């Protein structure tokens, strides 16, 4: 898939406030600071998503219109400790509505930090998506930070942990080296049936 143009067309802060569905849609979710904005920028090959040093408080669903045809959707991050109960509730309400009502959603890419074992919040996310029948693919981020000597072991550990939930594709990526970016785009392309 060649991304010719990208435009942030909608920032949804309340449930249901989405743009009309298009031909295809994929979404990205993960713990805050997992590298979601960086990955989106790597996929888009330009800086459209905001990358932060400190975990942000993005409480919106951002719709990126790609090639005037598809949506790449940036879901708000989870799992950041310094977030109030009320904020968590708002996050859940927003994402839940999107998962339950967005019929055009084809795949969620669940971003997990490739350097460390998955966290409880990641497992909760997986269980939640499974219970809602949301198809998802696991994307390991920040793989450039994993030593070559530990790489195979780390990948095997992740594969083992996630196999408890079913057979899922796991794609190791790095926004720094560009690892996995073209594979991810190919997969998205297949999903969206674009050649
Ligand atoms: N080494 C490395 N750092 C990364 C990578 N992706 C993101 N980061 C860093 O991780 C931090 C959070 O990134 P960001 O994309 O804002 O994460 P988000 O909160 O999930 O959107 C920033 O300091 C990034 O520079 C990566 O692939 N490799
Ligand atoms: Mg971000």
pLDDT per residue as tens digits for the range 72-96: 999 999 998 888 999 999 999 999 9
Instruction: For residues 188 and 195, give the distance between their C-alpha atoms in angstroms, rounded to a whole number.
Output: 10
Position 122 in a domain: yes
The residue whose CA is least distant from atom 3 of ligand 1 is: 142
Number of domains the chain is built from: 1
- State if pTM tops 0.85: yes
Residue 195 in any domain: the answer is no
Residue nearest to atom 26 of ligand 1 (CA): 142
Q: Count Cβ atoms below 10 Å from residue 124 Cβ, excluding itself.
A: 12
- Asked whether residue 148 is domain-assigned, the answer is yes
Residue 31 CA: nearest ligand 1 atom is 20
> Is the residue at 130 inside a domain?
yes
Residue 59's CB: how many other CB atoms inside 10 A? 13
* Domain interval for residue 171: 6-189
- Encode pLDDT of 25-78 as tens digits: 999 999 999 999 999 999 999 998 888 766 656 689 999 999 999 999 999 999
Residue 92 lies in a domain: yes
For residue 194, is it within any domain? no
Domain with residue 90: its CATH number is: 3.40.50.300
58 lines ligand 1 (CB under 6 A): no
Task: Say if ligand 1 is within 6 A of residue 32 CB.
Answer: yes
Residues in the 5 Å CB sphere of ion ligand 2: 36-37
Has residue 113 been placed in a domain?
A: yes
């Amino acid at each position: 898939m060649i991304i010719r143009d990208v435009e942030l067309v909608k920032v949804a802060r309340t449930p249901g406030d989405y743009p009309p569905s298009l031909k295809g849609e994929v979404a990205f979710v993960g713990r805050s600071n997992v590298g979601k904005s960086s990955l989106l920028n790597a996929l888009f090959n330009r800086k459209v998503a905001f990358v932060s040093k400190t975990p942000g408080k993005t409480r919106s669903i951002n719709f990126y219109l790609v090639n005037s045809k598809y949506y790449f959707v940036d879901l708000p991050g989870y799992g950041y400790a310094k977030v109030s109960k009320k904020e968590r509730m708002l996050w859940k309400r927003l994402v839940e509505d999107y998962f339950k009502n967005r019929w055009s959603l084809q795949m969620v890419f669940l971003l997990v930090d490739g350097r460390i074992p998955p966290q409880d919040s990641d497992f909760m996310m997986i269980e939640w998506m499974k219970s809602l029948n949301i198809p998802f693919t696991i994307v390991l981020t920040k793989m450039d930070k994993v030593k070559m000597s530990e790489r195979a072991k780390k990948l095997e550990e992740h594969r083992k942990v996630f196999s408890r939930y079913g057979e899922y594709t796991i794609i190791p990526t790095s926004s720094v080296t560009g690892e996995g970016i073209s594979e991810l785009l190919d997969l998205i392309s297949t999903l969206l049936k674009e050649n």
